[in-house]
Chains A and B, each alone.
Chain A
Amino acid sequence: MGTSELLRIVAFYVFALITLVSAFIAVFYGNILRSVFALLFTLFGVAVLYLFVHADFLAATQLLIYVGGVLVLLLFGIMLTQKMIEVNIRTGRIQFFPAMLALGVMFLFLLFVIFNTQWNIQGAANFQETTSLIGRLLMTDWLLPFEVSSILLLAALVGAVSIARIRRVQQ
């Protein structure tokens, strides 16, 4: 095992740890603003995990759309709906123990499935230049979902605006 290979393994574990710890903070921390900032590190960590399986285009997409788009949307949502000056933005929990049970049961079940299935592991794939390959696939094999998703985006845009707009009281 060479030094670079060792470095790669260490980096994988570091970023996996960052992902999981910040996800833990995002879920269990009381302050909703801090959990959004913890989610930033989770999404970043997941992007790095994508890089380890040669999904470079997806890592960039994850950073652009999640960190640049969804996270900013969530922050706007918090700032527009919480009275930050008057009340502190801590939020409580409901049904803590049933949810804890659901978490434990679900996680153990997933572990059971993961380690009891004979995965058909083929070894690491040899992806190169996934960006151009993905572009080709989107324009050939996956053209219909690609076009449908553009219509879906338009529909969501119109729908979100019409839901969020302030209706005049009719009288």
Chain B
Amino acid sequence: MTLAPGLYHYLVISALLFSMGLFAVLTRRNAIGVLIGVELILNAANINFVAFSYYVTHNLGGQIFVIFVILLAAIEAAVALAIIFAIYRLFHSVELPQVNQMQG
């Protein structure tokens, strides 16, 4: 591992982002905090795709994959926020431990 940025630097950055995103998903009480964690995880995956496309495979397939992942992240954020609004109207809160009953 040399000083100049290489594949390993990107992989380590992405591993750190992924672990922190996982932590946010597991610990946040607020539903929007969980969404932030999901965005971090997706960004970690994107960094890996771009780094492998540049240092290993030398074709643009990785970058195109990242475009689709960004698209899916945007869709996921929109739908998740719609669900959060619906939950907020039902429970008057977006704290996940309080959302503990289904309509029956």
Q: Which residues of B contact A119 (CB under 8 A)?
A: 7, 55-56
Known: A36-B36, A81-B84. A103 touches B13 (CB 8 A): no
- CB-defined A-B contacts under 8 Å, sample of 20: A19-B13, A23-B16, A27-B23, A36-B36, A42-B43, A53-B51, A53-B54, A77-B32, A77-B85, A91-B95, A92-B29, A94-B28, A94-B97, A103-B23, A107-B19, A114-B12, A124-B55, A134-B67, A142-B64, A161-B82
Interface residues of A (CB under 8 A from B): 5, 9, 12-13, 16, 19-20, 23-24, 26-27, 32, 35-36, 39, 42-43, 46, 49-50, 52-55, 57-58, 61-62, 65-66, 69-70, 73-74, 76-78, 80-82, 91-96, 98-100, 102-104, 106-107, 110-111, 114-115, 119-125, 127, 130, 133-134, 137-138, 142, 145, 149, 152-153, 156-157, 159-161, 163-164, 166
Known: A27-B21, A114-B11. A156 touches B75 (CB 8 A): yes
